[in-house]
Amino acid sequence: MPWVPAARAMRAAAVFAVVAVVVLISVAVVQTVRPPNLTPVNSVVPSGNDGPVVVKVTNPGYVGPQACAACHAERVAEFSETRHFLAMCVPEASGMPNGFATGRGTYKTPDVPLQFEMTETPGGFSQLTRQQTDAVQSQTVSSAIAFVYGSRGGNDEVYFTWHGDKLYELPMTWLAPQQIWGTSPFDRHGHGDFSRDMTIRCVECHNTWVEHVPGSRNQYSHDHIIQGVTCEVCHGPGTDHVTFHKQNPQVKDPHAVVRPATLSRERLMDLCAQCHSNALKHRGPAFQYRPGEPLEDHYYTITTKHPEDDHVANQTTYLRESRCFQNSETLTCVSCHNPHQPRSSTNAGSVSCRQCHQPDDCPDRVHLPTSVQDDCAGCHMPVRRKIQVSFRTENDKYVAPVPRSEHRIAVYPDARAKVLLEWHRTPRESSSQDEANRLSKWLGRFYREESEKRRKEFRYLAAIDGCREALAFDPDPATQEKLAQFISIQSDIDTNLQDGLWHAGEGRHERAVECLQRVLELKPNHSVALGKIGTMYAVMRKPELADKFLKLAAESDPDDPYPVAMLGWLAYLDGRAEEALEFYLRADAVEPYTVKINQQMGLVLARLNRWPEAAQRFAKAISIDPNAASSVLALSQAQRHQHELIEALETGRHAVRLTRSQNAEALLNLADIYADLGNWNEAIQTAEKLMSLSESHDPKLAAEVRRRLVEYRMRRLDEK
């Protein structure tokens, strides 16, 4: 997917050391009752051997646009030229940019010994990555391009590759407006092809349906992809519709299909908001939203303070802020956009405004030149750079090639000035050139002032964009120096954040804090840096500092569940279970569909003796990821504590299989369940496995196992 703000992207990649303690502690403290009978979306098929289970994901009825074309050939042909249909494509020679031509595909990274080369081969297209590993050795990795985002769109093209059954985004990006190669920010401590996970939320917004392995971050089936945003995204899975009308060709009324025109305004807005909003956090499995349902039942929508913090395409939020929307009962996205046709001068833009507004409705119309009087969108929905999507070129940083129409319909003085400037720049009488010069100076001053305001708020990406705008109209050296300064500051923020997270992952906690503190010196409200420093202080056993920084992180970004979840975990470890639960409830409200939050919340509820609720949390964690071994083990121990021994035995065996009989806690739990059931032979056999596992690694545990073996053998003799 295109690059999103560094703070949110880094959050997803951070490695949090303290949380790993949950696997060691959970089995010792959980007590619960039988979980509720949850209806699974997917079926879990036991593998028959030790190790992960196989999760079978069923296509809910998507058939693909070719099935629609049998009856709607003209509509499908028209729609196939839209950006939605082309949201994800396989690479084809006719559609790939000229950057793949011989001699044009090489990109040398400015500050690390790394070179990328984009090539076309007889078998397709590839990214070659050459990394200098030391003074004399280098490594070359070839990655075949499997999919393209942005194909033929005229802005940026992003490329993806398979590593086995996992899908990754490659760093190289073609910037069409500049006709040059750039890179998405990548981990300079990385290796291989420097790609990053293709997360499921990104896949959902660019495809109709993909078979995603539940519980995985980026694992998909190669053979079960309906690529692009096609008919069924808005009309619902079509198998029942297609089957019915094949069997009943005389029936003309559409059967088993959603007609968006019949939906309420809110449900129609939800169709577009699936991807054109900040609805980022799953409330359930992927690809479960259906047209006509409330979007909030499936996703949590984050609230951003500034455009640079937005999701890639957040238009619906700003449309809702418009007086046009608020004063209307019918205005929706499709009032201006015909989703079946490519965008054109007659599909969106000022022509849409005239559906509701008369020319004389604009009080400024009489003051404008005749040729621009009808440019409603130019003044009230100006095109701006999507600065949250930025790339690095060989000579520049934070290059934002993607234009986006402002969807908060309002009065923008700078937009009006731009429209007039373009008119006055057309060769006319001398007075027009004088007015053009005046407007240029005014716009330069306007954007310089905007840039300075943003700098004072530590919004350096936005400040960079302000400087670029100012230079486009008034290229003075002082603004150029400011631009270089802001680029340097943002680069230092990103580099130190990346280094801090890397040191944290490597266990160098003090070094991590040093790097992250440098981030805060430049941007004191950086929520990811604040949260990670809090974690590092927790690991370093400095609870007061940990508490301070985690609370600052939660205050800086209320939609980030990480700092409040960490506060909950620390409260739990400190014996403050009620307080811990409050924190976890806040985290769960933002991101309820994660194994970690449900697992840890289950531990807190168990400590509070709220066993039924704890059971639901462990069951939910397992439903999210059937291979979540720690949750399976915790549930088994909970069932045993409640004397539900048959259930505990089945769950305990599953925990042992998942851990390949190599987890001491799982084996000990299973041995105890066998003993509780009086199955002494099985208890002894399991304990003997545990003995061989623990003798060389954990002498203390080995001593406990010997004691239990003696007890089990004596009990077996007694019962004989």
Say how many Å lie between the first and final Cα of the chain, rounded. 66
Q: What is the pLDDT of residues 507-522, one digit of tens each?
A: 999 999 999 999 999 9
Q: Are 378 and 419 in contact (CB under 8 A)?
A: yes
Burial (0-12, 13-18, 19+ Cβ within 10 Å), 294: exposed
Report the alpha-carbon distance of residue 664 to residue 656 in Å, rounded: 9
0.75 exceeded by pTM: yes
Q: Are 240 and 248 in contact (CB under 8 A)?
A: no
Reduced to 3 states (helix: H, G, I; strand: E, B; else coil), residue 136 is coil
* CA-closest candidate to residue 233, choices 154, 288, 301: 288
Report the alpha-carbon distance of residue 438 to residue 361 in Å, rounded: 28
Residues of the chain with pLDDT under 50: 1-47
- Scanning the structure block, which residue is given the tokens 């019962």? 719
Q: Are 327 and 315 in contact (CB under 8 A)?
A: no
pLDDT of res. 439: 96
Count CA within 13 A, CB hemisphere, residue 270. 19
pLDDT of res. 268: 97
pLDDT of res. 33: 30
pLDDT of res. 429: 62
Count CA within 13 A, CB hemisphere, residue 577. 13
- CA 431 vs. chain centroid, Å, equals 52
Residues 6+ apart with CB under 8 A from 118: 99, 100, 105, 107, 125, 126, 127, 128, 172, 174, 181
Backbone φ and ψ of 95, nearest 5°: -110, -5
Report the alpha-carbon distance of residue 484 to residue 665 in Å, rounded: 56
Instruction: Give how far Cα 420 sits from Cα of 369, 439, 459, Å.
Output: 8, 8, 29
User: Across 79-113, where does the E strand assignment appear?
Assistant: 106-108
Residue by residue, DSSP assigns 656-681 as HHHTTT--HHHHHHHHHHHHHTT-HH
